Each structure stands twice: as C-alpha cells, then as structure tokens.
Structure 1
Amino acid sequence: MTELARDAAAGLDGAVGAGGQAVLDHLVALLDLEKIEENIFRGVSPAHSPVRVFGGQVAGQALVAAGRTVPSERKVHSLHAYFIRGGDPSVPIVYEVDRIRDGRSFTTRRVTAIQHGKAIFALSASFQKEEEGLEHADEMPDVPGPETLPTYLERLTEFPNLPEFRSRPRPIDVRYVNDPPWVTRETGRPSPRNQVWMRADGKLPDEELLHVCVLTYASDMTLLDSPLARHGVYWDLDRVIGASLDHALWFHRPFRADEWFLYDTTSPSASGGRGLATGRFFAQDGTLIATVVQEGLLRVRR
C-alpha cells in the first residue's frame, strides 16, 4: 500500500464525527487511485467504515479508474452501475478497466471492481467531446437557501437515538430542506420528497473529473431515504435491511462539487422488497446539473 493510500485509509478514521477541509482532503486521497498496471488501479477504504464499503465510494473510485484512461477533453456524461456483492472495507479494491470503444465523439469504458477474486461492482461510463445542441432543463424547486438551514449534526442533536450516525466523519456538508426522515417517522407526517442541500465540506482542486466523482460519491447519500420516508420507517430505528442494487447518473452541465447543490429526490415505486428512487441535482443558481436513478433492496421486518 502506498503512503497516500495509507493516509487515505487512516485519515477519515482520525476525524470521527468531524467535517471540514481535513476530512474532505482524505476523501480526495481515497479517490486518487494507485495505478498498478496498464488499465488496473487499486483503491482503499477508510479505516472507520461500516460492515460494507459505502456504495458512493466504490462508484466514485470506479469512475476515477475509467476517467484515467480517457483524454481529458472528453467529459463523462453518464454512468450505469450494478452493486454485485458487499465490499470488504478491510482490504484494497482492484479496479480493472476495459477500453470498450474510442470513437470520434464518444468513448466507452467498463470497470469491474474486484475483491477476494470476485467482482463486487461493475460500471459502464460514457465520455463525450464537447458539442453544441438543443438546450432546455427543469426548473429548480423553490426552497430556502442552504445558509438558512441547520447543519446535519445540529439536526441530530434533536434526536439522541442515532448515535452511530453522529459518529461518522462527513466530507459532505448536508442541510435538510424538509424534516429528515427520522423526524417524520416520529411525527407521522412523511414527505413524498426528500430535499437536501449538499456540498463538499471544503475546497476541491480544479480538476473537473474529481468534482464529478465527488458528486457521484454524494449521490448515494440520502437517496434511499425517499422510499423509506413514504412509509415512516428509517435505518437503525426500524428493522430495515437495505443495500444499493444499481445506480445510474447523467451529467448535464459543468459544476463545482464544493459549491452548494440541491439534491431533490422522490420514490415513484416500491414493490417486491425493492424501492426505486430518482433525484435531480441543481446548482444554487437553479441550473440542472445531473439526474440520478437508483433501485435498492429494502426489506422491512415488522
């Protein structure tokens, strides 16, 4: 393991419950994969991890691996991924990149994440050279600005039954627009939408792919809260077994992940032990920057 990888693995653990630039710097280090061979990269997980590797982490690292094999003038515009097995945070993850196609306008890459000799995650990503074309976009919902809202930890202080949530390091600053699902669970007033402001909690380098990968990391946060909130149940407070099954992201316009963006999510359907969630990302000026869809395993034991 390289010195950078050791720092990345240990750094988030050393800042338990904290946020800010130091924690964000360790996330950036986690996304700075080690190249071990042509088309083969290695990443690590923070020492302070849950039982499984966080899905946003493996998606972000896989996109870094794909992007490292693509000319910088071609920007990622979409990714489609499947979570195959739970990742083991105690060992490195090997990312193998398959250079599917290099066309005149588009480049396609497929990435497989491997641990213990088995695939745990598979991602396909498409990159495109910049082009002009038709332009339209949905309008951002009318919501309060992020500076007027309490921080995530301030929300948690109102609810002492979630100590494990409070202990996690937080490289992403999250501000709930509506009441968090652990609150609506108690009030009995579930919301059909889950809206949060987000940004990287510090300053990121001026590397466009890194900003895209940080948003990819953040896109797996709060998304599956949407189907749970509609039924008044929540992680750790109820007997919920959940995991991301697949994840798709479309990137529409340039953005900075260290500036505020609104994550507006809802759940159109839940059935068969699965819940579907969709989300839209808006920059603070109202620009639609990305769209996400995810299906998750959601088993609730009454």
Structure 2
Amino acid sequence: MAGLPEVLALDETGPDRFRSGPIPSEWARTFGGQIAAQSLMAAAHTLDRSYSAHSLHGYFLRPGRPQEPTDHLVERLRDGGSFCTRRVTAVQAGEAIFTVTASFHRGDEGFSHQVDMPAVPAPDDIPESDRINGWGMPRPAEWSHWEMRWVPGGQRGHVPGAPACQRVWIRYGRPLPDDGAVHACALTYLSDMALLGSARLPHPPTAVQGASLDHSLWFLRPFRADEWLLYDQVSPSAEHGRALTRGRLFDTGGRLVAAVAQEGLMRFDRPRPTEGRPRLHRLDGRPSRGTCPR
C-alpha cells in the first residue's frame, strides 16, 4: 500500500489547482483522513512556509473513489500579516466530495496553559497489535506504515453516564522530512484513524454503517508525526444514527499538541441497492472505511 509521501504527492495542474493520483485501497471508499490531509497539503502549497496550519474544519460530502484521481481546488479567502485562510474543495468526476476551510498562523507571543496528559504506560512497554481497538477490527492495509500501541485498560464505555473512551500511542513508522506542513498533514491523516470506533465501545456487537461526516482539528504546539503521540479518544454521545467523538493528542513529553472533534454516521445496517454505489463502512469488524455516504 502507498506510504504517506505518496499520499501527499500532488501535481499542480493550474493556478491554485492540485491533483492527487489514485491511491490503491482495500476499501470501496476513500479514507476520510486521506482526503483531508491531501486538501490541507494543497492549501499549504499556496502559502509561504512561515505560516503553519493552526486549524481546519471540513465536511465530507460524497464518497470518495480510491481508483480515481482527485482535484483539490484552493480559494484564497484571506492573506493577512498574521493569519491566512484557505478554502479547499476536493472534486472527483466534477462533483465535490469534501470541502475544508483551513487557517494558517505565523505565531505570536501570549499566555500558555494546558491540561495534564493521562497517566499511561509508555509506548515501548505496550506490544504492537494488528487489531483496531478492543472490539477487534483487523488493522486495514492502508495503515500498515503506522505503528499503533493500544493502551491496556484505556477503553471505557460500559459505565452508565461516562463517556466511551480509548487510548492509543501512534506514530508514522518511517522518518518524515523536516517540513511542518508534512507533519500537519500526517496528523490530519491519523486524526481520523479509529476515532469513530470510540463510539462503538458501549454497545453490543451489532452491524452498523459508519462514516465520517465532519471533522475539525486544532494544531496547538509543534510536534512530529514520526514520533510517538498519545491519542486520547472519547465519545460523549450517540443518537439518531450519529455519534459525536473528540480527541486529544499528546507527545511523549506530555505536551498537548492537537485537539480533534468529529461527528460520524453510526446507524444500524439496512438493506439498500448497491449497483453503482460504494458500500458503507461496517463497524462489525469488516474492513471497509471512508467518507460520508449519500
């Protein structure tokens, strides 16, 4: 399967227009983190590297098709002295599949505070797993370049009134270049990994359809995605076939480097016509994953 450098490789096809090629996948629909990371990279290509991404807010509009190229169309909404804003629309076959607004900042001096990192075992003290969280989904081949260590006892979801929770140490398994934009895009990719699964933990094994609906990410402090990050994931609510999830990412020094929020589809599986339409992700251990269904 393609590694992160191949995923983030974009060809400039015109002014503020970039194209990502087909990325081989075992899924019927493109992984949402991949589309978001590519769109953020397209936005970064229109900026001086003195600006770094500090937030993004995106919506998954249609299923992405891994076997087709994707065009990322960048709009320059604002170029300021401290902040720049870009809107990127990812398009396949003339239809928008994802849209994101990303803000970039040069950085300023100000106050500093953060919450403490949870007390967890170090990643080197936890064995590697070929599973995705406690309900046993096999790790997708798309994630073979990522190292993941699930924190023992870090899964909570059976206590009434308490949020469902899971924790995982994660890093990209190969060295990445010293380019802040690459690490921001790598974190954007990983921020969608297994996050919706936290909403599955309190419930019995039942076939459900799941997909990312929207995604927000805040970059808080410098980090490297090829070094261990603790991804603390919680789901405070699920209702009406949708689940709310949140995440915090800490480095091994305990610094809070990023925060995530996402709403995802999590509805009971139901019969539907499949001809001409990609299948939805099933949260029952079957390897399928992707962006918003329609």
TM-score (norm 1): 0.83
- Is 1:193 aligned to residue 165 of structure 2? yes
- The CA RMSD measured in Å over matched residues stands at 2.3
Deviation at 1:240, TM superposition (A): 1.3
Q: What is the aligned partner in structure 2 of residue 282 from structure 1? A: 250
Deviation per CA, 1:145-190, whole angstroms, max 9, x where unpaired?
001111122x58x99x85x646555121111003687xx99xx889
Q: What is the aligned partner in structure 2 of residue 211 from structure 1? A: 183
Determine the C-alpha separation between the residues in 2 that align with 1:203 and 1:246: 30
| 8 Å contact from structure 1 (residues 45, 53) kept in 2 | no
Task: Call closer, same or farther: CA 1:45–1:143 in 2, change over 3 Å.
Answer: farther
Q: Number of aligned pairs?
A: 267
Determine the C-alpha separation between the residues in 1 that align with 2:199 and 2:71: 32
Q: What is the aligned partner in structure 2 of residue 50 from structure 1? A: 27
Deviation at 1:105, TM superposition (A): 1.2
Deviation at 1:300, TM superposition (A): 2.3
Could you tell me which amino acid in structure 2 is paired with residue 197 of structure 1? W
Deviation per CA, 1:22-44, whole angstroms, max 9, x where unpaired?
x6xx3212102111111000012
Q: What is the aligned partner in structure 1 of residue 60 from structure 2? A: 83
- Is 1:256 aligned to residue 244 of structure 2? no
| 8 Å contact from structure 1 (residues 178, 194) kept in 2 | no
Determine the C-alpha separation between the residues in 1 that align with 2:23 and 2:90: 17
Determine the C-alpha separation between the residues in 1 that align with 2:9 and 2:140: 27
Alignment match of 1:270 (pick from 210, 232, 238): 238
TM-score (norm 2): 0.85
- Is 1:172 aligned to residue 140 of structure 2? no
Gaps of 5+ in 1: 1-11, 13-22
Deviation at 1:125, TM superposition (A): 0.2
- Show structure 1 runs of 4+ deviating over 3 A: 164-169, 178-181, 188-191
Structure scoring higher RCO (CA < 8 A, sep ≥ 6) equals 2
Greater fraction helix: 1
- Larger displacement relative to structure 2 (60-69 or 223-232): 223-232
Determine the C-alpha separation between the residues in 1 that align with 2:103 and 2:26: 30
Q: Using the aligned pairs only, state the percent identity.
A: 45
Q: What is the aligned partner in structure 2 of residue 243 from structure 1? A: 211
Deviation at 1:75, TM superposition (A): 1.0
| 8 Å contact from structure 1 (residues 62, 111) kept in 2 | yes
Deviation at 1:280, TM superposition (A): 0.2
